[in-house]
Amino acid sequence: MPGRAAVAWVGTWFLETVSTVGGIFALLGRTMAAAVWAGSPRRWRWTREQMVAIGVKSLGVTGAILFLVGMVIAFQTAYQMRSIGAEILIPGLLAVSIVRELGPMLTALVIAGRAGAAMTAELGSMKVTEQVEALEAMSVDPVEHLVVPRFWASVVTVPLLTIFASTIGILGGFLVCYGKLGISPTAFTSQVFKTLVVGDIVAGLAKSFIFGMLICVVSCYQGLSVSGGAGGVGRSTMRAVVVSFLLIILADFVFTVLFYLLP
Amino acid sequence: MTAAEAPIRIRGLEKSFSGRAVLKGVDLDVHKGETLVILGRSGCGKSVLLRHVLGLLEPDAGEVQVFGERLADLSRVRRKEMRLKFGTVFQNAALFDSLSTAENIEFGLLEHRMMNAREARVRAKECLALVGLEDVEERLPSDLSGGMRKRVALARAIAMRPEVILYDEPTTGLDPMTSDQINDLMVKLKNSLGVTAIAVTHDMHSALKIASRIVLMDEGRVRCIETPEGARRSADPLLRQFLANIINP
């Protein structure tokens, strides 16, 4: 009976989705509580190691991507603006779109694909090799020891990486404006600061803070939920990236609507 | 029998996974100072039983009493305190692969603020010496052989001076000579530290060497309990099969 099978499939999918979302939010709650009230006495050491893994080692790739994106935006807008003789507006458009939207989102997507996937794979491997169980057997809470340092590292480094990558993105756009459109450095800087307001920077950083939180919790949840050996680690890693991407874009949409509605 | 005489008591323990009954009413007492070996075929519920003793799994029915207290009645904090009385050696050693050998052993001591870093390093070296390892403090688990990893896992298990040590398949995956070294080490630790131990295994040779008593599990139940001498003379067909595997491996 294909109809019955389809209903069963939809039902199973729905229950699994509800269970995953519930699990992610439950882990977020436990992590936030542990991040404030508990944690390993050596949490700073673990956090510092994670900051290097998530932040320092992602500098190159996020910088390179935003640099290219900045150049692409400059070229694309130049193509449109030239027809109405408004090339001078390009620096402002570039800065706002990068600081408010593309910088936070692209940085988060890169971190989700790079560091988030690594988090899931690492925790998943620990789960299948009984290292997570060994922590519990030693009376060490895996959330306090494994998730909290990654949480702090994510919520600190993702906004910092966003600032870095956005700056590089604007620099990429500047090179196009200066080299191809003849906009002087002074005019470029003046247009950027005239267009960009504090609210744009705050909005971009607020988003990146939330994205950092989402990447960490989704990736750690998937890692700690691994079952079934190496194949399970692979499946959970893929799921972590897909769910992180979806939640980042969903959160970005919610933020954009909120900022639009707010006075 | 009092809690002092039997620090671990299991009554009517039942557990199912996805509708499949793994434990079907297990009753067992673990006496103070003994090494109780739980023997059985793969999938008969031995490791599940061990995880119930640690409170890592919740029973569907029945209860586990540890040092006179029902695990089900303990708060999360109290349960964590209780686990500090246990040291566990996992089947695949379960060493933290991002930490060095010494850091693995010091881990619990530092996490629970039992010692400062210098004292913990001294304790780590003592424990490594006790399991016959030297000059491996800075090596990562990935640089150690299977037998060495098991020894480090033993050293980690005894570092916090537990009252009970749990061994989950301590000789699985090791060659016969290394298995024998691990067996000798378990006997040595029992004699020198006087700890109570529960070892889960399907290795009859190991069971006969280390056990004070052997519990044979089958189909989620305790089939029989014997001393090593009693097990050698037993007429139980399943126990005879395990013995036959030693004689004709």
List chain A residues with CB under 8 Å of B56: 133, 136-137
Please tell me the predicted confidence (pLDDT) of residue A38. Answer: 66
Residue bearing tokens 């001498």: B229
Across the interface, do A136 and B83 touch by the CB < 8 Å criterion? yes
Tell me the nearest-neighbour CA distance from A184 into chain B, angstroms: 51
**What strands lie across the sheet with B164-168, from one edge to the other?**
B86-89, B164-168, B196-201, B35-40, B213-218, B221-226
| Chain B residues lying within 8 Å of A139, measured CB to CB | 80-81, 83-84, 108, 112
Q: Would the CB atoms of B111 and A130 count as touching at under 8 Å?
A: no
The two counts, helices (H) then strands (E), for chain A are: 12, 0
Cβ B70 vs Cβ B247: under 8 Å: no
Please tell me the total count of domains within chain B. Answer: 1
Residue B114 touches chain A, beta carbons under 8 Å: no
Distance CA B246, CA B244 (A): 5
Q: What is the pLDDT of residues A57-78, one digit of tens each?
A: 999 999 999 999 999 999 999 9
Q: What is the pLDDT of residue A175?
A: 96
The reply to whether B38 falls in a domain is no
SS3 at position B73: helix
Contact call for A129 and B160, based on CB within 8 A: no
In a domain, B185, yes or no: no
Distance CA A9, CA A13 (A): 6
**Alpha-carbon torsion (A223, A229, A230, A231), positive or negative:** negative
Q: Please state, as a whole number, how many other Cβ atoms lie within 10 Å of the Cβ of residue A80.
A: 12
pTM, two decimal places:
0.87
**Which helix H or strand E contains B37, and what residues bound it?**
strand B35-40
SS (H, E, C) B81-119: HHHCCEEEECCCCCCCCCCCHHHHHHHHHHHCCCCCHHH
Does residue B123 lie within any of the structural domains? Answer: yes
Cβ–Cβ gap A133/B107 under 8 Å: no
B76 close contact with A: CB closer than 8 A: no
CB A228 within 8 A of CB A88: no
B17/A contact by beta carbon, under 8 A: no
Q: Give the whole-angstrom CA distance, residue B18 versus residue A261.
A: 48
A10-26 pLDDT per residue, tens: 998 899 889 989 999 99
Q: Establish if A136 touches chain B: CB-CB under 8 angstroms.
A: yes
Predicted pLDDT of residue A210: 96
Are the Cβ atoms of A138 and B95 closer than 8 angstroms? no
Distances (CA, A) of A47 to A144, A151, B57, B110: 11, 8, 30, 16
Closest chain B residue by Cα to residue A39? B111
A40 neighbourhood in chain B, CB within 8 Å: 111
Q: Which residues of chain A make contact with B96, given a CB cutoff of 8 A?
A: 126, 131, 134
Regions of chain B short of the pLDDT cut 70: 1, 3-4, 246-249
DSSP string, B122-161: HHHHHHHHHTT--S-TT--GGGS-HHHHHHHHHHHHHHT-
Q: Is the pLDDT of residue A39 over 70?
A: no
Q: Which residues of B188-226 are buried (b: 16+ CB within 10 A; e: fewer)?
A: ebbeeeebbbbbbbbbbbbbbbbbbbbbbbbebebebeb
With respect to residue B115, please indicate whether it lies within any of the assigned structural domains: yes
A42 touches chain B (CB under 8 A): yes
Q: Name the band, by pLDDT with cuts 50, 70 and 90, for residue A41.
A: low
Phi/psi zone of residue B113: left (φ > 0), alpha (ψ -120 to 50 degrees), beta? left
- Alpha-carbon separation of residue B177 from A21, B46, B82 (angstroms): 50, 24, 35
Query: Does B195 fall in a domain?
Result: no
Question: Would the CB atoms of A139 and B90 count as touching at under 8 Å?
Answer: no
For residue B34, give the amino acid letter. E
| DSSP code, position B249 | -
Interval A165-179: pLDDT, tens: 999 999 999 999 999
Decide if A133 and B56 are in contact by the 8 Å CB cutoff. Answer: yes
Mean pLDDT check: name the lowest of A103-117, A168-182, A231-245, B185-199: B185-199
Cβ neighbours, 10 Å, residue A52? 12
Q: Domain segments of chain A: what residues?
A: 2-261
CB contact under 8 A, A137 and B95: no
CB proximity under 8 Å: B 146-175 to A: 160, 166
Q: What is the mean pLDDT of residues A229-238?
A: 92
Q: What's the domain range around B138?
A: 97-161
